[in-house]
Structure 1
Amino acid sequence: MKYARLTKEQLEELYPEFITFLATQSIDKIEWDDIKKNRPHLAEQEIDLFSDVIWDKALSNVSYIDHFSKNYIFLFKCIDEVVFSWVVKTNNPQIDFVSADGIHWLADNLFSNDVEITKGRKDISENRNVALFEIIKQGGIISKGELFNKLDSLINQ
């Protein structure tokens, strides 16, 4: 398995797609019920394969990922096989970027001595989707890139 198995809730939401996936493998409802009952290991393999297909499709469309922690914000822009990043760090232990107050504080103190901003670039030509999945697995959230682009325009004015 390349990524992670979809949760039961995710599979339920993707039920029509899963039925189509099984159909492409010539597995109808009767056969699927038999597989689940008599060959659960094979059923798990089918679910894992379907999960990888869904993750691959979703990750292929990812352009931005945001990751917030107490003292850091990681903003990623994914273009083809390159990830650009902005890392925002505060040296003030009272600030928590996970909270709304922390984000408001950052807006007021972006260019203060309590904030360090670093720009990065990484080649991910080996396997783009796996690299992006690792960021998501560590707490990254797929976004529309508003924060990345806002910070980029503020810094590069």
Structure 2
Amino acid sequence: MPKYRLLSLEELKELEKEFIDYLVVNGITADDWGKIKDEDSSKAAQIIELFSDVVFEGIMRKVKFLELRTRSELKVFQCLADKLVLVGMSAEPNQEVDFTNPDFVKNAMVEPPSGLKVYTSEKPYEDKREIELFKIIQAGGVIVDDRLFKSLCMALSA
């Protein structure tokens, strides 16, 4: 069972060169791989599973910020080595907002509508850092840069 998820066929095709390098590093020649695929599909699946984990582990290690948006709430996470720092913005119930609309967020940062709450919190990782970040991405989180995080922090201090 993979630690993250299996790469899709499309993703594997995009990473063909990296996959070949992975096979070579693990002592598997092109002929060996062809044989494994034809004669031992479970071993082939295991190799793809391990490669998938290597790929996702590498991506997750580089993540510094994640963003998670719903219509009524925006969360931006700073992903430190030992904890997540969250800065968020949420609307009061029944307020007409849409944080999934980039223009709304841009305008809200310049002129925040009344009823928006900006908040912050932090928590240590309960699981391995990379696993927790992957779970946020699987829940709709997106890897982003630090701009929105910094803007929300400035809104908190204003």
Normalised to the residue count of structure 2, the TM-score between the two structures is 0.90
- Name the aligned partner's letter for residue 22 of structure 2: F
Distance 1:104 1:129 in 2: 29
Alignment RMSD, CA only? 1.7
Structure 2 residue ranges without an equivalent (≥5): none
- Name the aligned partner's letter for residue 129 of structure 1: E
**What does residue 88 of structure 2 align with?**
87
**Would you say the 8 A contact 2:118–2:155 is kept in 1?**
no
CA spacing shift, 1:154–1:93, aligned 2, 3 Å: closer
**What does residue 34 of structure 2 align with?**
33
- Name the aligned partner's letter for residue 76 of structure 2: L
Normalised to the residue count of structure 1, the TM-score between the two structures is 0.91
Distance 1:100 1:2 in 2: 33
- Name the aligned partner's letter for residue 27 of structure 2: S
CA spacing shift, 1:27–1:87, aligned 2, 3 Å: same
Report deviation, 1:136.
Answer: 0.6
Distance 1:134 1:150 in 2: 25
Query: Secondary structure of the residue that 2:119 maps to in structure 1?
Result: strand
Distance 2:58 2:121 in 1: 26
**Would you say the 8 A contact 2:109–2:151 is kept in 1?**
no
Distance 1:35 1:28 in 2: 10
**What does residue 135 of structure 1 align with?**
136
Report deviation, 1:105.
Answer: 4.8
**Would you say the 8 A contact 1:81–1:125 is kept in 2?**
no
**What does residue 99 of structure 2 align with?**
97
Identity among equivalent pairs (%):
28
Structure 1 residue ranges without an equivalent (≥5): none
